[in-house]
Chain A
Amino acid sequence: MIIVDIKKGLKAYNGLQVLQIKKKFIVGSITRITGPSGAGKTTFLKMVAGLITPDTGIIKTNNTAWFDASQQINLSPQQRHIGFVFQDYALFPNMTVKQHLEYATNDTQWINRLLTIGGLSDFTDHKPNHLSGGQQQRLAILRALAIKPKLLLMDEPFSALDLKMKSALIKDLQGLFAELGATTLIVSHNPQELDGISGDELEIGS
C-alpha cells in the first residue's frame, strides 16, 4: 500500500492555492489522475518522486516512510527508485536511443525487450532530435521502465501517440506493469485513453 497524505502551498495567478492530497494506492494498481490545467497534477507527481518537497504530511510505501515532515524524513529521488515519464519527455539531447536506456540500466536483454515493445529497435543510434514526437514519447516511457521501478509516475505519457500505436503500446505496457508489480499513476486529459486499464481515479483540483 502506498499512502499519501500531503499538503503544499502553490503560487497561482490568483494568490496562494493549497494543494492537498490524501489517497491510498494499492500495490500493482493503475490510477488515472485527472483535473483542470494548473490544478497541481504534475506537482503532485513530483512530490511523490521527491523532486518537490511538500510543506507537511507523509508519503509511505510498504511501511517505509519516504517523506514525513514531522520526523524530518525526506528520501532523495535516487533513494525512491521511481520511474518518471515527464510531460516534456526530458530526453537527453546528447544521447542516442540506446544510450538513454544504457544510462539507466546495464541489463542488455531488458534493453532489447523494451526497444521491441516501444518499436524503437531500428532507431537505436538516433538522437532525440532525429525522432518524431511519438518516438520521443515512447523513448521517455522506455527509459522510465528501464530501472524496473516499483512505482511508475507518468505525466501525459500518450499525448503524442496515434490511436493505433497508443492502444498497442498500452496493451504491452499493461503486461509489463503486471510483470514488474509496479504501481502506476498516470496523469491524463483524455478520459477514454485509459478505459479498461485503470482501476482507480484521483481527481485533483475538483
Chain B
Amino acid sequence: MDLSPIWLTLKLAAITTLILLLIGLPLAWWLSKKRSLVKTIIEAIITMPLVLPPSVLGFYLLLAFSPQHGLGHWLQQTFNVQFVFSFQGLVLASVIYSMPFMISPVKSAFQQLPVSLSQASYTLGKTQWETFRHVLLPNIKPSLLTAAVLTFAHTLGEFGVVLMIGGNIPGVTRVASIAVYDSVEQMNYTAANNYSLILFAITFVMVLSVFIYNKYQVKSPLE
C-alpha cells in the first residue's frame, strides 16, 4: 500500500493548522471586539467556505491562480511561484477553506470572556498585547484546542477544493481523500478501504481526545 497520500495529508493538515493558528488568533481577537460594517463583511467572507460548494471555491481559486490569468501570471513572473497543481496551492486552498473552523470557535471564546477581565488588566498597567498573552489566551485554551483539532480534521477530509486546484499528482497533490476516490474509480476497493480506515481512525481519535480534554477542564467561576 502506498502511504504517501496519508503522509501528504498529515503534512498538509499540520501546515494549514499552524498557519491558521498564526493568522486566526489575532484575526479572531480583532473580530471579537466592537462590531463594525467592515468586520461584518470580513466575517461573512471568512464564513463563505462553510456554505459554498467546495468545487466552486476550488474553481475560483483555479481561475485566480492559473498562470494564464492575471494574478497567477504575475506571481509566476515576479516570484516564480505557482499555486496551481502544486503543494503550496493545496496549502493556500486549505487555509481559505478551513479558516471558519479556526476563526469561529476562537472568536466566540473571546466574546464569552467578561470584558472586565481585559479592563482589570489595563488598570494594572498592562498593554493590549500583555493582556492578550497573559489573560485572554490562557483562558480560551479549550476552545483554541477544539479549533485547532477541527481545522486539522477538516483539512484531512478536504476533497473538492484540493482536487480542483491540485489535481491528482502522486506525491505532490494526491492527498488521502483523492486516493480513496481514485482507488474506487480503479475498482481497487481494498486500497480505498485502507485509506478510508486510516482517515476514520485518525479523525475519531482526535475528536475523541478533544471531547475528553474539554470534559475534564475545570469550569471558570465566571461562566
Task: Identify which of B124, B125, B134, B221 gathers the most chain A CB atoms within 10 Å of its CB.
Answer: B124
Given contacts A129-B219, A136-B221, contact A143 B116 (CB under 8 A): no
Given contacts A129-B218, A143-B120, contact A90 B114 (CB under 8 A): yes
Least CB separation from A144: chain B residue: B123
B218 near A84: Cβ-Cβ < 8 Å: no
- Quick one: CB contact mask for B163-192 with A, threshold 8 Å, 1 for yes? 000000000000000000000000000000
Least CB separation from B120: chain A residue: A90
Question: B residues near A, CB below 8 A?
Answer: 114, 116-117, 119-127, 134-135, 138-139, 218-222
Q: How far is the CB of A171 from chain B (nearest CB, A)?
A: 25
Near B by CB (< 8 A), chain A positions 101-132 give 103-104, 127-129
A-B contact pairs, 17 of them (CB 8 A): A46-B119, A77-B119, A78-B122, A82-B123, A84-B123, A90-B114, A90-B116, A90-B119, A91-B120, A93-B139, A93-B222, A94-B139, A128-B222, A129-B221, A136-B221, A143-B124, A146-B124
Given contacts A51-B122, A94-B135, contact A78 B116 (CB under 8 A): no
B127 near A78: Cβ-Cβ < 8 Å: yes
Interface size class of A (residues with CB under 8 A): 20 to 34
Chain B residues whose C-beta falls within 8 Å of the C-beta of A76 in the assembled complex: 122
Given contacts A78-B127, A86-B116, A88-B116, contact A93 B220 (CB under 8 A): yes
Q: How far is A103 from B135 in the complex, measured between Cα atoms in Å? A: 10
A97 at interface by CB-CB < 8 Å: no
Q: How far is A184 from B188 in the complex, measured between Cα atoms in Å? A: 79
Question: A residues near B, CB below 8 A?
Answer: 46, 49, 51, 76-78, 80-84, 86, 88, 90-94, 103-104, 127-129, 136, 143-144, 146-147
Q: How far is A136 from B126 in the complex, measured between Cα atoms in Å? A: 21
- The 7 tightest CB contacts between A and B, nearest first, are A90-B116, A94-B138, A90-B120, A93-B220, A77-B122, A84-B123, A129-B221
* Contacts beyond the supplied A86-B116, A129-B220: 4 A-B pairs with Cβ under 8 Å: A78-B127, A81-B125, A103-B124, A129-B218
Chain A residues whose C-beta falls within 8 Å of the C-beta of B114 in the assembled complex: 88, 90
Q: How far is A90 from B219 in the complex, measured between Cα atoms in Å? A: 15
Chain A residues whose C-beta falls within 8 Å of the C-beta of B126 in the assembled complex: 78, 103
Contact of A92 among B117, B123, B127, B219 (CB under 8 A): B117
Contact of A77 among B123, B219, B222 (CB under 8 A): B123
A92 near B124: Cβ-Cβ < 8 Å: no
Q: How far is A128 from B116 in the complex, measured between Cα atoms in Å? A: 15
B125 near A86: Cβ-Cβ < 8 Å: no
B220 near A104: Cβ-Cβ < 8 Å: no
Chain B residues whose C-beta falls within 8 Å of the C-beta of A86 in the assembled complex: 116, 119-120
Chain B residues whose C-beta falls within 8 Å of the C-beta of A77 in the assembled complex: 119, 122-123
